[in-house]
Chains A and B, each alone.
Chain A
């Protein structure tokens, strides 16, 4: 009876975990899709500002500020999806020549580096958002945008990146353990 309950509990935890992972992937992709749209918005708004400036002599007060913030979003919020797509710039000269087993261990180490960096940025990012919100920091422009709005992209984006790195690391650890199982099995056969 106890073993049935334990198995049920473990299955529930597994289901919740896989749901959580799927949810984070969905969120990363969703944010990327929103940023794709925002890139188009960036092009349109800069063009609109040019027309207003040179044709109607009424430049917008918001285009410059909006697009500066959008650029920040394009790093912080898109980083997780770029990680999943393996599109970050890197030098894989040595990595490509390593045996698969070593590659897996190196991948685990790299994921740890990601998580270290992301932890610092999420931690300090949350403090930045809280401080900007608490002291009502705003931009110096006519828009007076509250700074916590663009700042929130830092903990959110880096949090997602850190989680994606964690999921990748768990996958890599499982993969590394499969090497050991194969070794044990082959020893058993021998």
Chain B
């Protein structure tokens, strides 16, 4: 049987199901199963459950629920608010200091939590009303938090790096370390944008009156430092090679429970159950996509789609960076509709062979992919962070949120181009790992 017709049927089924609102995992499983049935009949589908089981039976993936657990435990403490409070005291003197503080608070909270919407919800609910009270323009205030919330996906420990590492057979530890420099650079670029815009237009963020004493500044760190030390410990053990990412995740989640119990006194039976339930729901939803993507991948391999795309990429008579730019544009477009985890799981098996065939590094591509996905959560129509901001602060106009966030898309495109054309920026730190 020709592969063109089954491929067309499978791709159409997948897109129709996704756009009808069918859960991504069912869309993948259903379309993949139909494709396999068309190509190989019922005998072909017999290995589907085994393939799904094999996909999940991985010690690296055990890091997923453990990092989610760590994030949920820290999220439950309300540490995001303390973090923003501390940073706003330290950075208040800068032009647009509160917006800069919210960007770094989102970056650090992202390292603790790993979920972009958690940063937007936690920091946003405090920072945006505070900024508006002090005369910041609404869209400017909302945009800084909405965009910076996405840093959680890039700054390690990031769930998406674990998923990518598993699918690409790339070291998750190296991916984590590879995400540090892009994360810092992106957060810094966002802060520079805020400062430059405020210097040029003071009405966006009036200058703060009255200083903050050193005593207040250091006092604000009291509750925050244990969690920051925990993150440093988690990343340090991975960087030095003492622990695998999964072991570090276990240390991190246990440490998060200890911080929640000792520093915040926020742990009891009820809250523990809430944390475990929330973690399990997120884990199950991600694992479902990962498992069913295996059925879809089986079909893709059956009809040799990844090979065909790799051959197409190599045969194109344009420079290899041109091919990467085309792929990145395609991913940006796709990211406007599909969430980050699904994007990584669905596109990696298809795009990575082409990237490797062009002579690029899979570690580099993983980092570049995640920088690209930063845009997915802040671009309409399906920018999760935009709607999270709207849901936690209903008084804000969605138009204001989108308008305030759009300049950060341009910053992220610039950052993406930097890391595409200077791969050493990504690869240097992982090359120094123990």
A residues with a Cβ closer than 8 A to B are 32, 35-37, 39-40, 42-44, 46-47, 49-50, 54, 64, 67-72, 74-75, 78-79, 81-82, 85, 87-96, 106, 109-110, 113-114, 116-117, 120-121, 124-125, 127-128, 150-151, 154, 158
Q: Are B45's CB and A120's CB within 8 A?
A: yes
Closest to B283 in A: A74
Interface of B is mostly: helix
A124, B250: Cβ atoms closer than 8 Å? no
Select the stretch in B58-66, B131-139, B398-406 that faces chain A: B58-66
Given contacts A42-B66, A120-B33, contact A110 B49 (CB under 8 A): no
The one of B61, B280, B289 in contact with A39, judged by C-beta atoms closer than 8 angstroms, is: B280
- Closest chain A CB from B253 CB (angstroms): 5
Q: Are A43 and B250 in contact (CB under 8 A)?
A: yes
Partner of A69, one of B17, B57, B382: B57
Instruction: List 30 interface pairs A-B (beta carbons < 8 Å), by A numbering.
Output: A32-B277, A37-B276, A39-B276, A39-B283, A43-B69, A46-B246, A46-B250, A67-B246, A68-B57, A68-B58, A68-B59, A69-B57, A71-B64, A75-B52, A75-B287, A87-B282, A87-B285, A88-B24, A89-B286, A90-B24, A91-B21, A91-B337, A95-B21, A106-B20, A110-B23, A113-B17, A113-B22, A117-B26, A124-B45, A124-B50
Of all chain A residues, which has the CB nearest B292? Answer: A117
B154 nearest CB across to chain A (Å): 20
A91 touches B46 (CB 8 A): no
Main secondary structure of the interface of A (DSSP, over half): helix
Q: Is the CB of A39 within 8 A of B65?
A: yes
**Does B228 reach chain A (CB closer than 8 Å)?**
no
Interface locus among B80-88, B110-118, B338-346, B413-421: B338-346
Cα(A103)–Cα(B33), bound, Å: 25
A71 and B45 form a contact (CB under 8 A): no
B20 and A71: CB pair below 8 A?
A: no
B48 within 8 A of A: yes
Closest to A157 in B: B284
**B305 CB to closest chain A CB, in angstroms?**
21
Asked if B173 is an interface residue, CB under 8 A from chain A, the answer is: no
Determine whether the beta carbon of A88 is less than 8 Å from that of B285: yes
